[in-house]
Amino acid sequence: MNDVWVSLEQVEPGVQRLRIERERALNALNADVLDQIEAALDRAEADPASRVLIVTGQGTKAFVAGADIEAISRVDNEAAALAFAERGQRLFRRFEESALITMAAINGYALGGGLELAMALDFRIAAQTARLGQPEINLGIIPGFGGTQRLSRLVGPGQALWMISSGEPVTAEEAKALGLVDVVVPADALMEECLRHARTLAAKAPLALAAAKRLVLGSRDWPLENGLHREAEAFSQLAVSADGREGTQAFLEKRAAKFQGR
């Protein structure tokens, strides 16, 4: 039986926390950990009350320090290496496509696959002590879980190429200046800051949250006219939904809206 390395718990109404608990290996990702992350994501998505998912690592040293290098060293053919890379890419893509709003609580090193995981989430809040980077070049390889693609979208091609080619990490404050993380806080305030933002988001209309996420992320790939059409369609559907009716009526009646996700 495999060790249990991932936990999922409800920390507040509408807010769940997925924690990678492989602290002795700096929460490194191997095939078993990826499977357990996906199983936890399945459970979070199956909860109809779930709105926000916070992802973090166990301990204070690492969010996720990367893919398991020992496991990578045992890969002896291209087919196996391709399967491992595509496994990670599929999982991280699922976070992007999830109706849940996802948030990385970056409590320490977010390197290699760890940074790739964080970049696949919707928001990134980092402790001041965190360090972020793509050091795969030092192993003679490159990022394989989406790093070359998402990093360039977040910080621009030039900075992404420098980080990937040099392998040099950046501090949390440098990452914020680059647009790689959204908020930086003292390490002891990290989870409360994440929960503060999560509470705000969990109180919003879930259908509208999911539509906003889908449209904003899709805008990276759609022509403008296509995106505008999709936006108008989503707006029209939400305007006549029960939540849309409730939200506008609550505003007119000067009361808090009670959204139900329909």
- Does 213 share its domain with 150? no
Same domain, 243 and 142: no
DSSP letter for 67, please: B
DSSP string, 173-217: HHHHHHTS-SEEE-GGGHHHHHHHHHHHHHTS-HHHHHHHHHHHH
Residue 94 pLDDT > 80, yes or no? yes
Strands (E) across the chain are located at 6-12, 15-20, 52-57, 62-64, 101-106, 109-111, 123-127, 131-133, 170-171, 183-185
Q: What pLDDT is attached to residue 1? A: 45
Is there a single domain that holds both residue 223 and residue 196?
A: no
Instruction: State the total domains in the chain.
Output: 2
pLDDT at 117: 98
Rounded Cα distance, 193 and 61, in Å: 18
- If you count them, how many residues does the chain have? 262
10 shares its domain with 126: yes
Where does 60-163 show beta strands of DSSP type E? 62-64, 101-106, 109-111, 123-127, 131-133
Say if residues 89 and 141 touch (Cβ distance below 8 Å).
no
> What is the rounded average pLDDT of the residues 14-25?
95
Q: Quick one: 189 and 230 in the same domain?
A: no
Mark whether 17 and 101 lie in a shared domain.
Answer: yes
Res 66: pLDDT: 87
Residues 220 and 97 in one domain: no
- Domain-located, residue 261: no
Clarify whether residues 109 and 216 are in a common domain. Answer: no
pLDDT attached to residue 262: 86
**Which amino acid appears at position 151 of this protein?**
L
Residues 194 and 233 both lie in one domain: no
Q: What is the pLDDT of residues 182-202, one digit of tens each?
A: 999 999 999 999 999 999 999
Tell me which DSSP letter residue 4 carries: P
Residue 88 lies in a domain: yes
The domain in which residue 53 lies consists of 6-202
Establish if 1 belongs to a structural domain. Answer: no
Query: Is 179 in the same domain as 246?
Result: no
Q: Measured between alpha carbons, how far is 261 from 131 in angstroms, rounded to an integer?
A: 37
pLDDT tens readout for residues 104-160: 999 999 999 999 999 999 999 999 999 999 999 999 999 999 999 999 999 999 999
**Residues belonging to the active site:** 116, 136
> Quick check: is 108 in a domain?
yes
Rounded-to-integer distance, Cα 125 and Cα 181, Å: 6
For residue 222, tell me if it sits in a domain.
Answer: yes
98 and 145 assigned to the same domain: yes
Q: What is the CATH number of the domain that holds 137?
A: 3.90.226.10
Both 118 and 105 in one domain: the answer is yes
pLDDT by residue (tens digit) across 206-219?
Answer: 999 999 999 999 99
